[in-house]
Each structure stands twice: as C-alpha cells, then as structure tokens.
Amino acid sequence: MQISVVIPLLNEEESLPELEAWIRRVMEANGFSYEIVFVDDGSTDASWQVIEQLIAQNPNIRAIKFRRNYGKSAGLNTAFQAAQGEVVITMDADLQDSPDEIPDLYRLIKEEGWDLVSGWKKKRYDPRIKTIPSKFFNAVTRSISKIPLHDFNCGLKAYRREVVKTIEIYGEMHRYIPLLAKWAGFKKITEKVVEHQARKYGVSKFGWERFVNGFLDLLSITFVGKFGKRPMHFFGSIGTLFFLAGFAILAYLSIAKLVYAEYGIADRPLFFFGILTLIIGTQLFVTGFLAELVARNAPHRNVYVIEKEIGGARS
C-alpha cells in the first residue's frame, strides 16, 4: 500500500463526506493504492454514524473510535500504529487542509528521500488573535529545536513509514512531532508551502490554553529529549554545584570563626544561606539518583480505550 491518510477528528460530522470524496478523487486521479484511517476522538455528534456510512461506500476506509476524548496526540499515536502505507500523511478533518497536496507530499518522501515533510500554511485564513501567538510559538520552537520549520503545528504532514512506527506521541506532543522524529534519528526534515482553506463547518476545538500548554510541553519535551534516559546528568550536575557552593560558604565561615573569633558563625545570614544550598544540593542529587532508577526500570506506556474499530482492506 502506498499511502495511509490519517485523520483524527472530534465532532466533524458535516465535513467528513466532503473530505472523503475529495481524498478519493485525488487518489483515483493519481492511481495511488491507499487507505484512510479515521480516529474518532470521542465525538458527541453523528461523526461515527457518518463514518460508518462512508465505509459502506469505500472499502479503503478504516475507522477507530475512542470511548472518550483523549486528545489529538492519542488519536495520531493510535492511527500511526494501525497505518499500513509506505507513506503516512496526516491532515485535519475540518477541510482546512487540502488533499490536493497529497501527490507532492508523497513525491517528496518517496522520490527525494525526506523522512518528514511538514506543511507550512504561509497564507492563513485565521484571525490575528491566532496567527500572532502562533508565529511567536513557532519562532521559540525553531530556536530551541534547531529545526528550520515555520509551522510546527500544521496538521498536514507526510512521514516515511519508519518514522511513525518509531516515535511515540503522548500528552499534547503532536505539536512537536518533528522534534520527536529528530531525536529518534530521522534528521531529513523539510517543509512545503501548502494551501490553507478557510473553515467551512463547525468551530475550532482549540482555545487559548493551547499556547500555555504548548510552552509547557516544549519545556517538557526538551528536558525529556536531552535527559530522559540520563536524568542524573541534569539533577546531579546542578545538585553538585549547589552542594559545593554550600560547602565553600560553610568552610569560609569556619575559617573566619578561627581567624576572627569575635564573630559567631550562626550570627551571620551567610551561614543560613550556606546550609540552604547544602540541603538543596543534596536533595537535587538524590532526585537525580531516584529519577535514574525510574527511567531505567519503568518504561512509558500509554493505554487508550478503543470502543470500536471497523473497515479497511488488510494488506
């Protein structure tokens, strides 16, 4: 199978028939063998019923339904494990991503040898209240990750099969898939300017909290990527510095007590600061030691409860 199109969704009953027909037209026009993997992330509207109707018309559709809403990352992670195509393409279900981009994305992966191609919505049909924070978010992420992408959070991306089978997405890490891929050893990452459609149905499922969560997730993923397997290097190094600083302060005060007997050690604020840094250093060192034990003996695993899985021709 050449292409798997992965589409996580939440309450998109109006857009699904049009999106499926659009994808089918593109695939048939280019002669691609394909599958569409819908992941219903706990929709409360008629999205699942619409998907069942579409499966009856198109045997290339597979669908997974979560018992409750887990978030976009969970949907993508589950679909990645189920995808069978040589190239996996993700897109949102709201018709803002154009399926007409699929042939070029496929060519970039198969013919030019890229591991991941991220869409860049250079011209966006979103209000400034969304685009300005998004530009700031992308600039910060680009600076920290050293990956030259303009739009990390674009839902339209293409991956070599090996990439999606290697990385694990959890929490709200879908914004940082290029960074996860890079840390997994897939360094051939590029971007392509893609067409952005104005929203036709429904409303956005993301609010202001995504910017706060996005920043926190960036800090988390940066730490995990650098120190996830060696937390002692982080906590131990800082703890050692604090411990040495506290030891030096107390050593200085002890020598000062011997030389200038009129001053008592416990009478000086510096004494308490030295004790504090000594304790903090010890605590950080112990934290690093415990984190090292946890990292080596408790591998991360996610469990998402799938209520139903239907459709699709198995290869």
Using 70 as the pLDDT threshold, list the residues of the chain that sit under it: 125-131, 202-218, 221, 224-226, 228-229, 261-264, 295-305, 312-315
pLDDT digits (tens, 9 = 90+) for 49-89: 999 999 999 999 999 999 999 999 999 999 999 999 999 99
pLDDT digits (tens, 9 = 90+) for 171-223: 778 888 998 899 888 999 999 999 887 777 766 655 556 666 666 666 776 77
pLDDT at position 315 is: 46
What gap in Å lies between CA 83 and CA 115, rounded to an integer?
16
Which residue has 């998004």 as its token pair? 134
* E strand segments, 155-290: 157-160, 189-193
What gap in Å lies between CA 38 and CA 60, rounded to an integer?
11
pLDDT at position 303 is: 54
pLDDT at position 10 is: 94
Structure tokens given for 178: 């290029």
What gap in Å lies between CA 181 and CA 59, rounded to an integer?
31
Structure tokens given for 211: 């910017």
What gap in Å lies between CA 83 and CA 164, rounded to an integer?
9
What gap in Å lies between CA 12 and CA 23, rounded to an integer?
16
Structure tokens given for 275: 């004790």
DSSP codes, 86-109: SEEEE--SSS-B-GGGHHHHHHHH
Contact 277, 243 (CB under 8 A): yes
Contact 191, 120 (CB under 8 A): yes
Q: What is the pTM of this model?
A: 0.73
What gap in Å lies between CA 279 and CA 275, rounded to an integer?
6
Structure tokens given for 35: 């599958």
pLDDT at position 175 is: 86
